[in-house]
A and B are shown apart, each in its own frame.
Chain A
Amino acid sequence: MSITFEGVSYSYHPPAKKTAQTAAAKPAWGNAPDSVWALKDINFTLEEGEFFGIAGHTGSGKSTLIQHMNGLLQPHSGRVLVDGRDISDKKTATRARAGVGLVFQYPEHQLFAATVYDDVAFGPRNLGLGSEEVDACVREALASVALDFDTVHEKNPFELSGGQQRRVAFAGVLAMKPTTLILDEPVAGLDPAARTDFLNLIKNLHASGLTVVFVSHSMNNLARLCDRILVLKEGEQFMLGTPEEVFAQEASLKAIGLGVPSAQRMANSLRQAGVALPESFYDTARLTHELAALYQGHHGSQDSQDSRDSHDSHDHQST
């Protein structure tokens, strides 16, 4: 399903009660509690099957934005369209909720049932499915987060490790068979190994046909996974484009408190130091290949055993 934002604005202090505070100066980044708009004139369309990233500094409106995608919040101006229908309609919102799985930050904090099975089954049961269908949903969901049904389904979720709890919480959302999965900082607070596992898991879910929205302020994760990235600044749409387009603008990203992926940062610095790097966007693998090729090419043409610095300057001269 596609989700379209048309001029969406949202305020935690609705403009009807607007006071003199409106005129107050805004802080450099983040939203002061009394600043008026949490979201301001957001326009984009989430296409089916896309891997869509949302980046922004703390308080830039990321979490507010995603809560519009299944009708938890209604815009104060503008419209959110799900498959062309306005989500302010109650029926559309209910349908959107079944189709859009929203995983909040630290989803394991929302576990409540006595067994893993019951917790995962909460969503399907709310959809009014029969017990056999629920069972099938739970098995499938647990399998898709790489948890073994037999060992885990009778356990108390609070006995599990943090990473496993998060998997259960993921399964709880996946059990509703959403076509779009929205993840708010899905790897926050995990150790590096668990983080890699989770990112692979998310990648597989996307490969299986889910549309994924990934909210994060880690540019490394976004660069690796996303087709397009939306950057928010104080509730406004700051940039929207492919990782290549977005990360080409390192200076403006830095100005709003965000970085660029480490590989890209290194590529930018090397280019500034005079190394000839033809492409605008690099991930770790591509940068390594490019540098290795440059290094070998250099050695092929000359026999001298120069230091790294002089390699770089030679490269510069040769182009």
Chain B
Amino acid sequence: MQEIAIFGRYLAGTSPVHRMDPRAKLLLSLFVLIVIFCAQSFWGLALCALFVAGFYVIARISLLQAFKSVGWLFFIVIITALFNVFFVQGGTVFFAWGFIQISEAGVYQAAFMGCRLSLLLLSMSLLTLTTTSLDITDAFEYLFTPFTRFGLPAHELAMMMGIALRFLPQFALELQTIHRAQLSRGANFSSSPLKGGVPMITSLVVPLFTSAFRHAETLAAAMDSRCYHGGTGRSRLHPLRYTSLDRNALIVVVAMLILVVASNFIP
């Protein structure tokens, strides 16, 4: 429990990607996901990879940092690839032992899925690497505002999301402190957590919950004393505005879509 890595932690910067409107970034990264799903061959994936790499270059984030931010989620990639190796059959059989059989189609499918998933993860983490959680929740709020007509509390949902994201690292830190404090009192977590019985787990969970309630009460009082009353009639200090950056980004992503779809017709 030294350091708790969080998927796509924000890296401050001033690159064009950082300066884009968060709404555009959110929508375009969803669009990029769809484009990656459109790629049906390795040619298409190569093109996608080229574009994603290009985005990272423009965002001035090194590939090393990019892979680090995805971190343990690559576990999913590996599991998926392994599933494909063993369960997709067809073509030449490379290896057979009892019921385990690895064939050409399996390896091809595993490599393809592995590459596709890695690209999906990398392009999603680019969003969170270059956008603060506050901006992302803002973007969500804007995009969901049309649905308020149907009774969707867009502002409240976005606010809840923002607060939850804000307190995630805080609670990770507090859990670490509580863990160490109970270790100092002779608690033994090193063996199976269930072995120590209920007291060991409650000694971590109860303080964490009381701290969550304490923070919630303090925060509620602080918001109340600043006359917070929900989203109605609330103005903004920094209104979001689309700029030429967002237009250019849209052009690039549309070009990416056309190229990728075209690549599917390469024999």
Contacts and interface: CB of A to CB of B under 8 A. Distances in A.
A198 interface: no
Interface stretch (B30-38, B98-106, B173-181): B173-181
A208 B214 CA distance: 36
A176 B177 contact: no
Q: B-side binding surface: helix, strand, loop or mixed?
A: helix
Interface residues of A, number: 25
Given A67-B180, A112-B206, A158-B210, A12 B3 contact: yes
A123 B185 contact: yes
Given A112-B206, A112-B207, A126 B178 contact: no
B207 A111 contact: yes
B186 A72 contact: no
Given A112-B202, A112-B203, A158-B210, A104 B177 contact: yes
B163 to A, nearest CB: 20
Given A109-B207, A122-B199, A122-B203, A104 B185 contact: no
Interface in A63-105: 67, 70, 72, 97-98, 100-102, 104
B199 A173 contact: no
Of B181, B187, B214, most A-chain CB atoms within 10 Å: B181
Given A109-B210, A110-B178, A112-B203, A127 B184 contact: no
A189 to B, nearest CB: 13
A126 B181 contact: no
Closest 9 CB pairs of A and B: A126-B186, A112-B206, A102-B184, A123-B185, A110-B181, A104-B181, A112-B203, A72-B180, A110-B207
Given A100-B184, A176-B186, 8 more contacts: A70-B184, A72-B180, A97-B184, A104-B180, A104-B181, A110-B181, A122-B203, A125-B199
24 contacts: A97-B183, A97-B184, A100-B184, A102-B184, A104-B177, A104-B180, A104-B181, A109-B174, A109-B211, A110-B178, A112-B202, A112-B204, A112-B205, A112-B206, A112-B207, A112-B210, A122-B187, A122-B199, A123-B185, A123-B186, A126-B185, A126-B188, A172-B185, A176-B186
